[in-house]
């Protein structure tokens, strides 16, 4: 089994739920699991990974991985919201996977709402993490295509094309297919609300 994994998908692809279920299944089989998350993600609880479907698991909340050392008995390390960590943190996870015989499984976003790869996600690709796409559908009404991108909207429903990408929550985001992203982000469509 590969020892470094990146489970990625758009918002709403059940990434955190997948992590929680994975943690449960490993623990049920007697495997020692440790869960960590970035301190930046304080939406639901500071010391838990919480899914919108109502399941959760305890987690260690960290600003970075500079001084992180897995517990001596840890066999699997699960990392939520990996995009909020840094490339240097990814290198630390590589060291853990390669030198401590721990399976490291990261969950998070690949690209931001400007179609750019998050630095931590890019580093996971560069270091050869095994990639697992977690699929979901485009959130434009009537579209059943695979969601691959995010659109960010202001309070008036207009697409935002610049600014800080490290933002919590999904209330002003939509996960969309490539066609709708190009239509709405690049101004090809009739309006910015997803109607054609």
Strands 149-152 and 173-176: antiparallel
User: 171 pLDDT exceeds 70?
Assistant: no
What's the whole-number average pLDDT of the chain? 88
At residue 158, the pLDDT reads: 85
Q: What is the pLDDT of residues 38-89, one digit of tens each?
A: 987 656 667 888 888 888 899 999 999 999 999 999 999 999 999 999 999 9
pTM of the predicted protein model? 0.87
- Give the catalytic positions in this structure: 81
Phi, psi of 94 (to 5 degrees): -60, -45
Q: How confident is the model at residue 161 (pLDDT cuts 50, 70, 90)?
A: confident
How far is Cα 122 from Cα 17, in angstroms, rounded to an integer?
23
Q: Between vectors from CA 116 to CA 144 and to CA 60, what angle results, nearest 5°?
A: 90
At residue 18, the pLDDT reads: 95
* Cβ-proximal residues to 123 (8 Å cutoff; 6+ apart), any chain: 87, 90, 91
Poorest-confidence range of 71-75, 98-102, 120-124, 169-173?
169-173
Cβ atoms of residues 9 and 133 within 8 Å: yes
Tell me the domain boundaries of the chain. 4-133, 137-196
How far is Cα 181 from Cα 194, in angstroms, rounded to an integer?
9
Q: Which residue has the tokens 């590589």?
A: 94
Q: What is the dihedral of CA 81, 87, 92, 94, to 10 degrees?
A: 90
Level-2 CATH architecture, domain 4-133? 3-Layer(aba) Sandwich (3.40)
At residue 41, the pLDDT reads: 66
Q: Which helix (H) or strand (E) holds 125?
A: helix 119-126
At residue 146, the pLDDT reads: 93
Q: What is the pLDDT of residues 4-42, one digit of tens each?
A: 999 999 988 899 999 999 999 999 999 999 999 998 765
How far is Cα 115 from Cα 149, in angstroms, rounded to an integer?
7
């Amino acid at each position: 089994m590969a020892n470094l994994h990146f489970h990625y998908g758009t918002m709403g692809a059940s990434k955190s739920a997948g992590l929680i279920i994975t943690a449960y299944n490993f623990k049920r089989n007697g495997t020692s699991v440790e869960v960590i998350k970035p301190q930046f993600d304080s939406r639901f609880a500071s010391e838990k990974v919480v899914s919108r479907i109502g399941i959760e698991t305890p987690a260690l909340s960290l600003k970075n991985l500079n001084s992180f050392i897995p517990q001596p008995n840890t066999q699997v390390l699960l990392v939520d919201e990996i995009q909020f960590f840094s490339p240097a943190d990814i290198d630390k996870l590589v060291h853990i996977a390669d030198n401590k015989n721990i399976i490291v499984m990261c969950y998070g976003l690949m690209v931001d709402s400007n179609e750019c790869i998050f630095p931590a996600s890019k580093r996971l690709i560069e270091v050869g993490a095994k990639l697992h796409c977690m699929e979901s559908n485009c959130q434009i009404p009537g579209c059943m295509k695979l969601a691959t991108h995010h659109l960010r909207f202001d309070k008036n429903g207009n697409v935002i094309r610049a600014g800080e990408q490290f933002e919590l929550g999904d209330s002003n985001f939509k996960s969309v297919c490539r066609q709708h992203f190009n239509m709405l982000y690049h101004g090809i469509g009739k309006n910015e609300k997803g109607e054609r």
